[in-house]
Amino acid sequence: MRNTSQKLFAAALVALLSSQAAAQTNVNWTGSAGSWNTGSAWFNEALEQSGLLPSADFSEIARIDAGGVVTVNTALADGTDQGASTNPGEVRLGTVSGVGELVIAGTGTLRVQDAADADGGLEVGGAGSGILRVLPGGALTIDGGLASAPAAANLVQLGAPAGAGTASVTVGSAVFGGTTVVHRNASFNSAAGISLQPAGTYRPVLSGALGATLQAAGAVSLAGVLQPDFGGVAPAVGSSWKLLEGTSVSGAFASIDASLAGSLGLGRSFVVTTAAAAGNRKAVQLSLRQMPVLSVNRDTGMAALTNPGTTPISLDGYTISSDLGVLKPTAWNSLQDQGALGGSWRESPPSANRLSELKRTGAATLAAGQTVSLGAVFAPAPLAIGAPTEDLVLQYASPDGDFDGVVTYAGTKVNNILLQVDPGNGQARLRNTSSFTVQIDGYTISSVVGALTPGTWNSLDDQNAAGGDWRQSTGATTRLSELKRASFTTLAPGSQFDLGTIFNTARAKDLQFQYLPFGASQPMDGAVLFSALAAGAPGDFNGDTLVNGADLTIWRSAFTAATAAGDADSDGDTDGFDFLIWQRHAQAAAAPAAGDALAAVPEPASLAIALVAAVCAVVVRAGSTACPLQPIP
């Protein structure tokens, strides 16, 4: 402990320095890890002396940088008229370099005191990174403000998963720009406001119906990311938790990160609301709701409003919107049209950008497991391959507010070159599911986590497929790549090639796919879809693993009946594109080996010539003057 003569000497010395230097003195922690009371680890810059704890009586700033970890495990004394303070005037953690960490242990008490030339504040992070931990049983009082700088590495942890007592923190004000973790065994009170900054992450650790609350005597301002943590245990639908409380609430979280909330289930989402609290105050609450889901089939365009949960959903209005204009209002089978969900629905004027209905009286109930079809309203017409098409947004109104629903897509018809991977066995297929013909001369499949299996990759080079003349790179678990050495390969709509087993099903589904259009200098991003692959080759409509005349008969019947029984390109209909796919694979399957006798069945090309005439007859009867189909030589 510093005696009175030491304090007088220090005061006289500080007075000789410049006015700015005289106002504050840095006392730097020079050790690695240790107790606050280890005087030999503190170095007073003004006195050029070790052995003196930073004191508010001399407006001294405790600086912890360069990997220092300081633990307060005793009750430090407040200042008196005789100058007996062992508490600092300010604390700065990692504001200069490296990482600086301060831990208030279960038996520790620290006050950052407002002094004559010190503001009594605590700063976490700056040029370096700062960490502040207040453990259960510990107490921290900050006369000024607590502020963490805007970087994820700057951590303020209040409470802990286990430990006796409460982590008690009282501050003059609070600004959180880094990562803030608040456990249920923490008590936090600000004499003024609390401001969550745009770059920050607020992580309350929740359980059951217990919240983790930050209390403010003033206003609360929301921003940044909310990341509720349930310790891997999925919360129950209908539960709610209080997160913050103040005299008023402004702003909103930019997003909610549910990665630490366990498996929520389809259509379940977190919602943040503001509710009245005792004393004319406002509380910020988090709740888990079952949302309606708009399920969209890419292949057929059909959309349906569904409740995949186990609890009913009340709604009195909904809107489906698309900035891209991919909606087809003439195909809309509205609730008003159907008299569904209790009737009394009224449509708004529909357009390619918006479909909307409002229930005029009362609220409808979408029962658990219920699905209501809305027709084939998804009808994108992109102008180029790779152009986005899936921008549908579902919003709905319920008696207690307006919320965003969930949109899911099924089917494989995407406006791009698709790498379809079977998540069950790791097999992959390269497909052109767009309506555009594409010329490519290279592709790459990559995985950051090393989920590729080069040993079972059946490349285009191996198959001598897609026009041949392909050269594969040396395969690796992080990258598979091929380049066509001359010219290009044309991928017509519906074209597809099996690539063998390329995915390790035990690894994360992080595959990325890029292809190089002919003549381009930069690759385009393709689509990756983890979905079970249909058995059999394209054009095998009867599932017997053969592509032959029997499948052609199925296609011909489906074409005239306008069904999807002869759908080879998974777009939900039977048309000329499906015939071309059948023809291509029938030719490949029927090519005889040298010396083999020809089969008694007609050659696929002969069948195709006969079929073209039949199809053209159907087209002409429909009023067309030209036939779009020609056999592939």
pLDDT one-digit tens code per residue, 226-251: 999 988 777 888 889 999 999 999 99
> Are 319 and 349 spatial neighbours (Cβ–Cβ below 8 Å)?
no
Please give the model's pTM, rounded to 2 decimal places: 0.71
pLDDT one-digit tens code per residue, 118-137: 889 999 999 999 999 999 99
Beta pairing class for 524-525 and 512-517 = antiparallel
- Exposure b/e, 608-619, CB count within 10 A at least 16 = b: beebbeebeeeb
pLDDT one-digit tens code per residue, 175-189: 999 999 999 999 999
- pLDDT score of 618 more than 70: no
Beta pairing class for 281-290 and 401-404 = unpaired
> Are 424 and 504 spatial neighbours (Cβ–Cβ below 8 Å)?
no
Structure tokens at 211: 């919240």
**First-to-last C-alpha distance (Å) of the chain:** 98
- pLDDT score of 621 more than 50: no
Rounded CA-CA distance 260/233 in Å is: 9
Mean pLDDT of the chain: 86
pLDDT one-digit tens code per residue, 307-362: 999 999 999 999 999 999 999 999 999 999 999 999 999 999 999 999 999 999 99
- pLDDT score of 98 more than 70: yes
Q: C-alpha distances in angstroms, 202 versus 156, 180, 279?
A: 10, 5, 25
Measuring CA to CA, which residue among 362, 364, 354 is closest to residue 319?
Answer: 354
Structure tokens at 231: 């310790």
Rounded CA-CA distance 307/291 in Å is: 7
pLDDT one-digit tens code per residue, 133-175: 999 999 999 999 999 999 999 999 999 998 899 999 999 999 9
pLDDT one-digit tens code per residue, 496-542: 899 999 999 999 999 999 999 998 989 999 999 999 987 666 787 76
Structure tokens at 219: 């206003």
Measuring CA to CA, which residue among 366, 370, 262 is closest to residue 315?
Answer: 366
Q: Which residues pair with 250 in a beta bridge?
A: 221
Rounded CA-CA distance 538/547 in Å is: 8
Measuring CA to CA, which residue among 531, 537, 569 is closest to residue 422?
Answer: 531
- pLDDT score of 601 more than 50: no
Rounded CA-CA distance 162/550 in Å is: 69
Rounded CA-CA distance 489/470 in Å is: 10
Rounded CA-CA distance 555/574 in Å is: 7
- pLDDT score of 279 more than 70: yes
Measuring CA to CA, which residue among 426, 440, 508, 432 is closest to residue 469?
Answer: 440
Structure tokens at 188: 């936090």
DSSP, collapsed to helix, strand or coil, labels residue 615 as helix
> Are 244 and 268 spatial neighbours (Cβ–Cβ below 8 Å)?
no
Structure tokens at 628: 């779009």
The CA angle 525-529-533, to the nearest 5 degrees, is: 135
Measuring CA to CA, which residue among 153, 146, 104 is closest to residue 127?
Answer: 153
User: Cβ–Cβ contacts within 10 Å for residue 65, how many?
Assistant: 23
Structure tokens at 140: 């921290």
Rounded CA-CA distance 104/71 in Å is: 6
Measuring CA to CA, which residue among 74, 71, 68, 36 is closest to residue 55?
Answer: 36
Mean pLDDT of the region 479-487: 93
Q: Which residues pair with 407 in a beta bridge?
A: 294
Q: Which residues pair with 529 in a beta bridge?
A: 420
pLDDT at position 562? 65
Helices 549-561 and 604-621 cross at an angle (nearest 10°) of 10
